Structure 1
Amino acid sequence: MATTTKEKSPHLKRFHYTLDVAVDKPFNWKQMLRLLQFLKPYAKTVLPIAVIAMLVSTAVRLIVPVLIGRVAINIAVANQDVNLLIELVIGISILYLLSYIGNTVRIKYVNILGQNVIYDLRKHLFSHVQRLSNRFFDNRSAGSIIVRIMNDINSLQELFTNGIINLLMDVTMLISIIVILLVLSPQLALAVMVIIPIMFYISTKLRKNIRKSWQDVRIQQSRLNSHLNESIQGIRITQSFGQERANTEYFDGVNTDNFGTWRTATRKSAMFRPFVEMSNAFGTVILVAYGSYLIINGTIDVGTFVIFGFFIGMFWEPISRLGQMYNQLLMAMSASERIFEFLDEQPNVAEKENAKHLEDIKGHIEFDRVQFSYDEDRIALHEISLEMKPGEAVALVGHTGSGKSTIANLINRFYDPTKGSVKIDGNDLRDVKLDDIRQRISVVLQDTFIFSGTIMENIRFGRPTASDEEVIEAAKVVGADEFIQRLSDGYQTEVEERGNILSAGERQLLSFARALLADPKIIILDEATASIDTETEMKIQHALKRLLKGRTSIIIAHRLSTIREADQIIVLENGKILERGSHEELMNSHGEYYHLVKSQFQMLDQL
């Protein structure tokens, strides 16, 4: 579904985040029942208390009008029985006190219920997203994922906090009032309720339109969040190119669309209440006219008329709330569709039910005629066969898009081969538990991600059970201890989001310490020294030797100093292996590697 966004700056083009939302489907009660499954953990504790409290307060509201009409008017007033009136006033006061207690308990426990269900649902969704494959994140922006976990689940809060219990209360009251009115006077009851079929018909016509409007709101919120996430993360690029005004203008367009969908949805939803109030007015007119006629004819007494007067006001109240509740259900269904879309998403890299544990590995890696495609139009690897022996350092060399990072991704099992197999110690990765694979592999990327928190916590991320002494030792080995000690609070220094208080080289040193602490059997360096200046690189060359010693290492790099000591260098081009061998062997063959090295030296000479 596409939505046109106002663009005041024609030169600023953006990717439009689109979502496939089926707006013409009928209300999905099966999906709503699935959503209500999250109430199960509280079905024997919190929920019964809230329901009992609701029934008590509802019963009081139903009993009081009957007491007033039947006892107060027909007996006490008719017979001028003051004592009975006093007893009745005391009795009604006690009932209202009981109702107050019931309402207090109901409000307390429905809030407990709602907050717990929202907590469980958000935790469940986040945990599920954590286990999804890389391909899932390749096709979605961070903002669109955040809006599902935050905004869409927040939209369900009102449903679980008040909606479900209020729905039960209103349905109970509505059915009870109808039964009481039919028992008291079937003629008058049918007369005042004649408007219900008309109201039901018109409201049904409005439902589809209102539901579509709330789905449009969700789409625009996702687009707004995606743009915000992109803008904040890319603020330095925006400022460096002086595009702040253009970016603000584009945001104004997205924000205007979001405002417009909210305004449309709320305007349509607001039509329910006036419509119900108009129905209430018609019902009251019929009650006064036809009820008075029945009193004059002696068909009903004054007490019954008074009871009808009480219940007519109470009758349209739950109908009005049910109309609002339906709007709430529409919003909840719109949000739940998007939540369950993620929950129904299965990892492309699935773990077999009978996957075996990989207790320990030596680090022997084999690619057996591996072919891989990120999409149908482009093959990233063409039947690659290679072997990496335990403890061997293997360098992957080639131009951008040659398949170097793809090989690293397949070793980590972020993706599965389209054809062929990737094996570690003779075990096909598809037959082994994912956690066992990834706990024995460490990856150091060019764009190191530093989490908010302390330096100590960031390094310990590699092995959460490590002691402070082990963390510090790992930092010393890679040469990070020196700059950490210069920080205001040393290892307890709080780093900002993404580690912005640190230089690129310092962040990279932390990633080396993190990888070393994990003590992996296989380590992947994906352009890991690209962000480090020459002076810093010289300091960590010794640390790299310590880091890679005894481990199978896959090194993706362009710098000759990083790869020349590799046991095996594999030269890739367009997903195929052109050459392989040691540095000396490849230089002597005067092939593609030789020309890459020569061109690098020529570039250095020109500096």
Structure 2
Amino acid sequence: MRRNTYKEDEILEEPFDIKHLLRASGYIKKHAGKMALALIFSALGGAAALVSPMIVQKALDVAIPKGDETLLYKLVIAAALFYVCSVIFTTLRSRIMVNVSQDIIYQIRRDLFAHLQKLPFQYYDDRPHGKILVRVVNYVNSVSDMLSNGLINVVLEILNLIFIVIFMFAVDVKLSFVVLAGVPFLMIFMFWIKNKQRKAWQAVSNKNSNLNAYLQENIVGARITQIFAREDENAEIFKVLSSNCQKAWMKAVSYSTMVWPGIDTISVLVRAAIFMFALIVFSKGNESLGVIVAISSYASRFWQPIMNLGNIFNNFINNMAYLERIFEAMDEPVTVDDAPDAVEMKKMVGEVTFDHVSFSYEKGKEILHDVSFSVKPGESIALVGPTGAGKSTIVSLISRFYNVDSGRILIDGQDISKVTLHSLRSQMGIMLQDSFIFSGTIGDNIRYGKLDATEADIRKASRAVCAHDFIKVMPKGYNTEVKERGALLSQGQKQLLSFARTLLADPAILVLDEATSSIDVQTEKALQRGLDTMLEGRTSFIIAHRLSTVTKCDKIMYIDNGGITECGSHDELMARKGAYYHLFTAQMEGMEAV
């Protein structure tokens, strides 16, 4: 997907590519039978509606002049029956196509969402989330209408046009040619207006996409906006984006409002020509009133299919661009996926081995270089070092959020690139610094990684991480509803809930990435007692800048310059008086100074 920001328009004017339409046909084929039935109903409904002008002609030319009341009643009944048939067939067609359209929306959106779930973290870091949402919601809605109603309407409008011409010529050949004489003028007008109209509505889509991207970003960052008093500046940016939307909309509407007056003007001129030729040129005033009224009625209907085909053409061009964007997102490579011959990870014991591992996020900028180490089952490993040295990268690679450039990572002797992601990650507990809380109850959030957990299991995990005390005083305890991203909970409370969620999953390997950074010292001491119990028998990797929290770890690895520069217990590293010693003493002196 293109990596543009809310400041940049997406390029939606795409050349026609048949491969997108062929690929989309897979969603259409599943509903081919229903769509064929809808087309039949549409054709029958259209044909029934076109009989009415011929009935009116019969009434004006025969029944009324002759005073034949019986025939007139029959014609009225026939007109009513044809009208009812038209309504019934049109209604049936509409109901069928609503179901087809919604099924197509569901199928495309399901496939797109399923693919988005597999994409790596970096995909979401590089793109405005609002523009991803536009693809899943707006573009899918537009495309589904093209794939269902659009294709049927093309056939239907062509058939409708053919039927009108047939019925029209059946009434009067010469006057029919008068109607057709207006087609060149209509085509010139439609070509001019539709080209401008299409580009105008594409601009509307671009500006709405930009606005959506900025709005989503600001909703997520609302607190930061207020912290830095950026309300006025952000309001000005939003004002500009909204103004762009307004201008684009007004321009598009100005072209749209020109369509009907233009067509109506041509239609009026054609009807005037009908009367002129019928009454003066062709038969010197002897043409019957019924014929004139019937041809005039068909002339009025004649322009509608042509205009509809123009609208369908514009929508088709726009939606092909939307379809390309949808497939572009679906084709975004899943860089981390199960290997074709991947096997299930056996129940983990917890032995972890890095075998000459090198890794880089961007080509040419290596983060880890030829890193090797081994961790025994049940050992606790602290990763310390300067920011950006690669501590979080190491634990991300253990969870296989990224693929290594070279080397291997083994768990219990199994290469993790050869096992299924689900069987690997389901046996690991990962606690990140950013504690994400979903909307729902507190209990549901804790149970998120283990849906079969009982209430007793949830309470046990909560007590172990010191979360039970604040949960029990909530309005409904574990059934208290929390809002999106844990609004109304403190950062410390969110971290404790994330701890409970992680520990409830009963992982064999536990990763704590700055997990206690937002917890006060008193709670941390109580939490540490619970963690000591929960960490027992589990391999754990702990990233912490507060070094006082990792002094009891079995091993401390100092990460810097793309590798492990020091490794040992706290006492061993302090005795060496190397990088760890200087970092630890500097922190302690800083705390004493405070």
Give the TM-score of the pair, scaled to structure 1.
0.89
Shift in Å, 1:22: 5.0
Residues 1:345 and 1:213: Cα distance change in structure 2 (over 3 Å): farther
Q: 1:21 aligns with which of 7, 11, 30?
A: 11
Question: Does the aligned pair in 2 maintain the 1:218–1:335 contact within 8 Å?
Answer: no
Q: Which residue of 2 aligns with 1:466?
A: 453
Q: 2:54 aligns with which of 59, 62, 66?
A: 66
Question: Does the aligned pair in 2 maintain the 1:356–1:431 contact within 8 Å?
Answer: yes
Question: Does the aligned pair in 2 maintain the 1:478–1:512 contact within 8 Å?
Answer: yes
Q: Does 1:181 align with 2:168?
A: yes
Stretch moving more, 358-367 or 401-410 = 358-367
Report the residue type matching 1:59 in the other structure.
A
Residues 1:201 and 1:366: Cα distance change in structure 2 (over 3 Å): farther
Shift in Å, 1:307: 3.1
Question: Does the aligned pair in 2 maintain the 1:238–1:244 contact within 8 Å?
Answer: yes
Shift in Å, 1:91: 1.5
DSSP-derived class of the 1:396 partner: strand
Shift in Å, 1:162: 5.6
Shift in Å, 1:296: 0.6
RMSD: 2.9
Report the residue type matching 1:416 in the other structure.
N
Q: Report Cα offsets for 1:212-260 as digits up to 9, x if no partner.
A: 3333333322221222122222222222222221221121112112222
Q: Which residue of 1 aligns with 2:349?
A: 362
Q: How far apart, in 2, do the equivalents of 1:172 and 1:324 lie? A: 16
Q: 2:399 aligns with which of 382, 392, 412?
A: 412
Q: Which residue of 2 aligns with 1:239?
A: 226
Q: Does 1:514 align with 2:504?
A: no
Q: Which residue of 1 aligns with 2:309?
A: 322
Shift in Å, 1:168: 4.2
Q: 2:20 aligns with which of 31, 34, 37?
A: 31
Q: Which residue of 2 aligns with 1:345?
A: 332
Q: Which residue of 2 aligns with 1:376?
A: 363
Q: Does 1:493 align with 2:480?
A: yes
Q: Which residue of 1 aligns with 2:111?
A: 124
Q: 1:51 aligns with which of 36, 39, 42?
A: 39
Q: How far apart, in 1, do the equivalents of 2:15 and 2:162 lie? A: 25
Q: How far apart, in 2, do the equivalents of 1:101 and 1:365 lie? A: 69
Question: Does the aligned pair in 2 maintain the 1:397–1:556 contact within 8 Å?
Answer: yes
Q: How far apart, in 2, do the equivalents of 1:548 and 1:126 lie? A: 36
Q: Which residue of 2 aligns with 1:427?
A: 414
Q: Does 1:286 align with 2:276?
A: no
Shift in Å, 1:520: 1.4
Q: How far apart, in 2, do the equivalents of 1:79 and 1:414 lie? A: 88
Residues 1:353 and 1:218: Cα distance change in structure 2 (over 3 Å): farther
Matches within 5 A, 1:138-287: 138-156=125-143, 159=146, 163=150, 165-182=152-169, 185-287=172-274
Shift in Å, 1:156: 4.5
Give the TM-score of the pair, scaled to structure 2.
0.91
Residues 1:191 and 1:355: Cα distance change in structure 2 (over 3 Å): farther
Q: Does 1:115 align with 2:105?
A: no
Shift in Å, 1:362: 2.2
Shift in Å, 1:27: 4.1
Question: Does the aligned pair in 2 maintain the 1:113–1:160 contact within 8 Å?
Answer: no
Report the residue type matching 2:75 in the other structure.
L
Question: Does the aligned pair in 1 maintain the 2:436–2:485 contact within 8 Å?
Answer: yes
Matches within 5 A, 1:592-603: 592-603=579-590
Instruction: Count residues with an aligned counterpart.
Output: 593
Stretch moving more, 403-412 or 420-429 = 420-429
Q: Which residue of 2 aligns with 1:528?
A: 515
Question: Does the aligned pair in 2 maintain the 1:295–1:301 contact within 8 Å?
Answer: no
Shift in Å, 1:379: 2.1
Percentage of identical aligned residues: 38
Q: 1:539 aligns with which of 518, 521, 526?
A: 526
Report the residue type matching 2:266 in the other structure.
S
Q: How far apart, in 2, do the equivalents of 1:382 and 1:466 lie? A: 41
Gaps of 5+ in 2: none
Stretch moving more, 373-382 or 184-193 = 184-193
Q: Which residue of 2 aligns with 1:452?
A: 439
Report the residue type matching 1:420 in the other structure.
G
DSSP-derived class of the 1:370 partner: strand
Shift in Å, 1:557: 0.8
Question: Does the aligned pair in 2 maintain the 1:214–1:334 contact within 8 Å?
Answer: no
Residues 1:387 and 1:201: Cα distance change in structure 2 (over 3 Å): farther
Residues 1:207 and 1:424: Cα distance change in structure 2 (over 3 Å): farther
Question: Does the aligned pair in 1 maintain the 2:10–2:206 contact within 8 Å?
Answer: no
Question: Does the aligned pair in 1 maintain the 2:558–2:567 contact within 8 Å?
Answer: yes
Q: How far apart, in 1, do the equivalents of 2:199 and 2:342 lie? A: 44
DSSP-derived class of the 2:33 partner: coil
Q: How far apart, in 2, do the equivalents of 1:284 and 1:293 lie? A: 14
Shift in Å, 1:413: 1.6
Q: How far apart, in 2, do the equivalents of 1:211 and 1:405 lie? A: 48
Q: How far apart, in 2, do the equivalents of 1:57 and 1:76 lie? A: 26
Shift in Å, 1:110: 3.0
Report the residue type matching 1:335 in the other structure.
Y
DSSP-derived class of the 1:360 partner: coil
Q: Which residue of 1 aligns with 2:564?
A: 577
Shift in Å, 1:402: 0.4
Residues 1:49 and 1:245: Cα distance change in structure 2 (over 3 Å): same
Q: Report Cα offsets for 1:417-469 as digits up to 9, x if no partner.
A: 22333332333333222212221222101110011110100000021121222
Residues 1:265 and 1:30: Cα distance change in structure 2 (over 3 Å): farther
Q: Which residue of 1 aligns with 2:89?
A: 102
Q: Report Cα offsets for 1:145-193 as digits up to 9, x if no partner.
A: 2222233334446657865554443232112112333455554434422
Q: Report Cα offsets for 1:305-324 as digits up to 9, x if no partner.
A: 44322211111122223333
DSSP-derived class of the 2:564 partner: strand
Q: Report Cα offsets for 1:49-83 as digits up to 9, x if no partner.
A: 543432332121122223333x4355545655332
Residues 1:19 and 1:365: Cα distance change in structure 2 (over 3 Å): farther
Q: How far apart, in 2, do the equivalents of 1:509 and 1:301 lie? A: 89
Report the residue type matching 1:407 in the other structure.
I
Report the residue type matching 2:46 in the other structure.
T
DSSP-derived class of the 1:486 partner: coil
Question: Does the aligned pair in 1 maintain the 2:190–2:307 contact within 8 Å?
Answer: no
Shift in Å, 1:526: 0.6
Q: How far apart, in 1, do the equivalents of 2:484 and 2:334 lie? A: 28
Q: Which residue of 1 aligns with 2:80?
A: 93
Stretch moving more, 321-330 or 389-398 = 321-330
Q: Report Cα offsets for 1:325-358 as digits up to 9, x if no partner.
A: 3343344334333322212222122333332222
Shift in Å, 1:209: 4.2
Report the residue type matching 1:487 in the other structure.
M
Question: Does the aligned pair in 2 maintain the 1:214–1:330 contact within 8 Å?
Answer: no
Q: Does 1:548 align with 2:548?
A: no
Residues 1:48 and 1:93: Cα distance change in structure 2 (over 3 Å): same
Report the residue type matching 1:221 in the other structure.
N
Q: How far apart, in 1, do the equivalents of 2:371 and 2:204 lie? A: 47
Q: Which residue of 2 aligns with 1:477?
A: 464
Residues 1:383 and 1:492: Cα distance change in structure 2 (over 3 Å): same
Question: Does the aligned pair in 2 maintain the 1:408–1:554 contact within 8 Å?
Answer: yes
Residues 1:22 and 1:317: Cα distance change in structure 2 (over 3 Å): closer
